[in-house]
Amino acid sequence: MSSVVIGDFAVSLIRHGVHWWDGGAFFGVVPKTLWSQKVQPDELNRIPVGFNCYLIHTGGHTILVETGAGDKLDERARERMKLAGRVEPLSEAIAREGFDPEAIDIVINSHLHFDHCGGNTVLSHGSARAAFPRARYLTARGEWEHAHERLLRDRVSYLNANYDPLVESGQMTLIDGDCEVVPGVRMRRAPGHNRDMMVITAESGGRTFCFLSDLVPTAAHVQPTWIPAFDLYPLEAIESRFQWLGAAAKGDWVCGFGHDSTVAFARITDDPKTHFSFVPL
Ligand SMILES: [Zn+2]
């Protein structure tokens, strides 16, 4: 199922391709004997990883959450990730799913790693311009500042062309702390993957959709201690997962993951053995 109704809202998955990334990196200290029971690696130990974007239609607004990796990866990076040579523009992928990319008036980035905001801009004649010209873009100020710190640990994840031209033109708003973007749609800080990553919720008619982004990158990560090696703050990630997955289970939320390559939407349930498990919709 790639669309769900949430009260007066509709939410659709736009999976902008699937890439392959090291399974060990995705599961950190979890032994391969365990994680390989959930997801099959290829001959280079890579697992399939979706670039998941979600469209939230509120009636008044069309909100795109995340924009995938875009068209700025070089050939070597694409080969490493087992990606095709040509990238279909995200707006074409959205149109192919039956939605009007021109209708998008808000774009939200949960954080600024290249695989979440690469499609914010497109390159033309060497400079980057907004891929969604009508849209107001939003991300967390703390994350943007962190991106500019260019720390040795995670600087490979950031590319200024994905966000700085939008900040300079005034099209991207840097938000301080949690905020309600439009009535019912909220961005809230969920530290762990990094310091300022945001979880996005859409609530209408007593129902809730929650985009967990890289706090829970795939359905296999609903076990709170299955933390990727690339998370900067693993202990906080475990805490944030208990908080968000607990709320999701209690509220019967519909959840979306940042990178699951098959599950579009899932419900979270309590599990006596692993704390949480999931039921795909
Ligand atoms: Zn990611």
**Model confidence, pTM:** 0.97
CATH number at residue 120: 3.60.15.10
- Block means of pLDDT (10 residues each) for the chain, 281 residues, are 94 96 97 97 97 97 97 89 88 96 98 97 91 97 97 94 97 97 98 98 98 98 98 98 98 98 98 97 96
- Across all residues in the chain, what is the average pLDDT? 96
Cα-to-centroid distance, 52 and ligand 1 (Å): 9
Among 115, 171, 135, smallest CA distance to 63 is for 135
Structural domain for 224, as ranges = 3-280
Ligand 1 center to 115 CA (angstroms): 5
Q: How far is the CA of 201 from the centre of ligand 1 (A)?
A: 18
Q: State the total domains in the chain.
A: 1
Ligand 1: distance of its center to the CA of 14 in Å? 15
Nearest CA to 163 out of 151, 178, 173, 176 is that of: 173
Note the pLDDT tens digit of each residue in 117-145: 999 999 988 899 999 999 999 999 999 99
Residue-level pLDDT at 85 = 77
pLDDT the model gives residue 216 = 98
Per-residue pLDDT, 84 = 81
**Closest to 232 measured CA to CA, from 172, 165, 147:** 147
Q: How many angstroms is it from 116 CA to the middle of ligand 1?
A: 6
Position 187: which residue type? Answer: M
Q: Which pLDDT score is estimated for 87?
A: 84
